[in-house]
Amino acid sequence: MKPIISSILALLVFLSVSNEIISQEDLLGYKEVQLTQTNADNRYASYNHKGEDIIFESNRDGRWQIYIMDINGTHQKPLFKSSSNDRRPSWHPYKDIVIFESDRSGTWEIYTYDFENNSVKKMRIPIKGDKRYARFAPNGVQVVFCHEAYAGVTDIYMCSNKGKRTKRIVNNKHLNIGPHFNRRGDYIIYHSNRNTQGESNIIYSRSIITDDRNRLTYFKDHSEYPNWSNIRSTRIVYSAKVDDMIHPEIFIMRSNGTRKIQVTYNDVPDILPSWSPNDINLLITGYRDGYEQICKILLKEPLNPENRALDQK
């Protein structure tokens, strides 16, 4: 490792002498590919189960709509068009079905879009109030989502994909956001402002069988939107502001909250990470050229050789 570090230092000296400026951050993190380049915001990107398509939301048409593109960012088009705001899409674990939220009924409700028959269907969940951040369980039979009980309080519920057998699994009179199942479907992760006096968010895991709860990030940090890796759920990717950071960056940690490693070093907001099906790439929402854009992070191409340890886990 020492010869590699020496080579990097030598490169820095050479570029400095050549009047070319390169910062330490340019040699950290992983290679990034920007997939969207619009004068509008693009967010919440995720791969389908085959890794062939990417779904995301964009307000490029004046309201939030769901778009689809291929894995290189080409052929971007609306999945369907509506006069409402359609947001936060994510994929079924093994079918070409997308779950999302929409305000078309006057409140935020959960809907699905089926590629097979090009149909949109409302999930009839017998709870009044806004429902958001929906995701399928790994078995495709259950769904987890957030329900706004009242202003400043969001509970997490689980139900069948037909909207039946509703069960509240997180209820603590705080904001609990962004639930995501592990591969076995017996735990969820989410972020919450519980125990921080509402000043920041912390990532928790919770068993849906025993109700055991574990805190995975520090009280002093602001960490959000965790996403479990796909293959064995051994890693969690998330966004966080740590120490003196002004903007959030992307981090990866083990599923027990240890070995936290920083992935991006952009000094602009990087948020909403999700894994590729084989866990070798990430999709993130990054602030680029004045707008939020979808970017792909190539975890097999570290800019800093010392980060190769992450690829071997």
Domains parsed from the chain with CATH numbers: 31-312 (2.120.10.30)
pLDDT at 303: 77
pLDDT at 169: 94
Q: What is the pTM of this model?
A: 0.87
Per residue in 139-169, pLDDT (tens digit) is: 999 999 999 988 889 999 999 999 999 999 9
Joined tokens for residue 264:
């991006």
Which one, of 192, 85, 180, lies nearest residue 142 by Cα? 180
Which one, of 263, 270, 267, lies nearest residue 303 by Cα? 263
Positions of the chain with pLDDT under 70:
1-27, 197-198, 304-313
| Residue 268 CB neighbours (<10 A) | 14
Per residue in 233-265, pLDDT (tens digit) is: 899 999 999 988 999 999 999 999 999 999 999
> Could you tell me if 298 and 310 are in contact, meaning their C-beta atoms sit under 8 angstroms apart?
no
CA–CA distance from 138 to each of 18, 183, 188, 197, 272 (Å)? Answer: 53, 6, 11, 33, 20
Q: Which residues contact 18 (CB under 8 A, 6 or more apart)?
A: none
Give the amino acid at 106: G
Give the amino acid at 152: G
Count of alpha carbons within 13 Å of 165, Cβ hemisphere only? Answer: 9
pLDDT at 232: 86
Joined tokens for residue 74:
């080409």
